[in-house]
Structure 1
Amino acid sequence: MFPRLKNSWGALLLSLLAAEAGATQLIEHADRGHVSVNISASETNRLAIEGRRIANVVPSVKGVLAGQKDEGLGAYYFTLANAAPNQGSVTLFVSDDKGVTYKLILLPRPMAGEEIIIRPPGDKTASAGRATADGRAASYQRRIKDLMLAMADEESRAGVEPVAVNREVPLWKEGRLVLLAQYLEGDMVGERYRLNNVSPSSMLLVEQELYRRGVRAVAVEHHTLMQGDSTQIYVVRERKDHE
C-alpha cells in the first residue's frame, strides 16, 4: 500500500507547482533578450501581445511550427510540427504592430496547451496598472493553493469544511474513480477523489489529462499505480451557478 498523504508532502507540492505552472504565462523583457517559456509539445498553444497585435512570427528553423494567425484578435495559435515531448528548444522571433521584436525560447513539455502573453515595453503608469493586475492574479493562485492544501491536510483547513459525497464517477474500465468530498470556498469548489487501479497492468497518471473546462488546478498524490493500488486526486474548479 502507498503511505498516507502526510508522508507525501514533497510529491504533493510538486504536483501543486506543476498545476500552477499550467496557468497563463506572462512574459516580460523579451524585447531586451531571449526569454524561455514552456509550451505544450502536442497541443495547440496561444501567443498574444498585451495591448498590441502580432504582426509577424518567425521561428529560427523553418518547418518546426505549424501556426495560424487570428486576424481579428491579432493572436497566434501554433503547434509543433514534430509533436514530441523530448524535442529540443525552438527560438521564436515575434514582431508587434508597433515594430518591436521579441525573442522567445520555446521549451516543449508534456502538458496541456499554454497561453503565452508577451508584455511590451511601456510607461510607468501602465506598469503600475499591470502590477495591480499581477497582485490579483497572485492572490487568485494563492487561494487555489490554499484550497488544495486544505483538502490534503485536516490541520490546514482553516474553516473549509468538506461535504461528503462518496459518488462513483464513470472514467475508464482500468480505473475506479470515486468523488469522496467537495469543499466550497467562494467562487471555487475543491473536489477530493480516490482512484483505484482495477486493471492487471500498472497505471501512469498525468495531471494534464485530468483538466476539463473550468478546472483550475489538479494534484495527484501518486502518479504510478500498480494493480490494486489507489491514490488521492485533488481538483480545484470554478463554482457553477447552481452550487
Structure 2
Amino acid sequence: MKCPGQDTQYWNKEAIFETPCPECGTIIEFFKDDTSRVCKGCGKRMVNPKLDFGCASYCQYAEQCLGTLPKEFLANRDDLLKDRVAVEMKRYFHTDFKRIGHATRVARYAEAIGKAELGNLAIILCAAYLHDIGIKKAEEKYNSNAPEYQEIEGPPVARQILEHLKAKADLIEEVCDIVGHHHHPRDEETLNFKVLYDADLITNLEEAQKKTPLERARLEAIINKSFLTQSGREQAAKVLLTPEV
C-alpha cells in the first residue's frame, strides 16, 4: 500500500508549487514529495521549502519510501522524534492529566535550557517527556511514587516506547539512563542530564509554590545551590522569583 500522503490521487492544487532559487532567483517548480531540486539557472540543489514528511522522523523505511533524504532533513530527524514521544507519553498516562501536564512543562523548560546550553535536544526532550514514565508501574507494584521506585520502573517503559518508535540505539540508551536516575545526579554528569534535572527541578518547585509558597530568600538559596547549569538557574529565577514590590 502506498503512503496516502505521497499518492497523487489525494493531492490538491497546493501539491505543486513554485519558489525562487535563493542564489539566483530562477523559479523552481516543486512537487510536494520532492525532497530537493536542482536550479536550472545556477545549478544549486535546493531543499523543498515545504518539506514536511513527519512520518520520516521515526519510520525505519523512510529512505526506501522517500528516496535519499537530504542531509538537512536527516540532521533534524532525531529531534522530530520528540513529537511522537510526546504523543506516546500522553497515550500511556491516558487521563492522568496531572502527570501529562508535569511532563509537558518539564519539556518546555528543558527546551529553553537545552537551547541555551547547546545540549542535544532530541535526547533532552525525549527524556523530559519520559522522565516520570515509571510512576504508573511504581504505584501499581509498590503503592508508592517515590523517586527510587520511579527510577527502577521507568527505563523499561521508556525503552519500550522508544523501540516502538524505531529510535536509534544510542538515543535509547542515553534517554533510559537519564530516566533511570533523574532524581539522583552522579558525581560526573552529561550536559543532557543536567538540563533535564534543572527543568524537572523548576517544575517541581513551581508546583510546590502553588501549595506552600517559600519566601523569596529561601528560593534564591535553592536556585543558587541546587541547579546544575547556569541557564537552569536563570530560567528558575525567571519563573520562580517574582519582582519585589
Q: Which of the five TM-score ranges fits, normalised by the shorter chain?
A: under 0.3
Q: Which structure's residues are more often strand, by fraction?
A: 1
Tell which structure's C-alpha radius of gyration is larger: 2
**What TM-score, normalized to structure 2?**
0.23
Considering Cα pairs closer than 8 Å and 6+ residues apart, tell me whether 1 or 2 has the greater RCO: 1
**What TM-score, normalized to structure 1?**
0.23
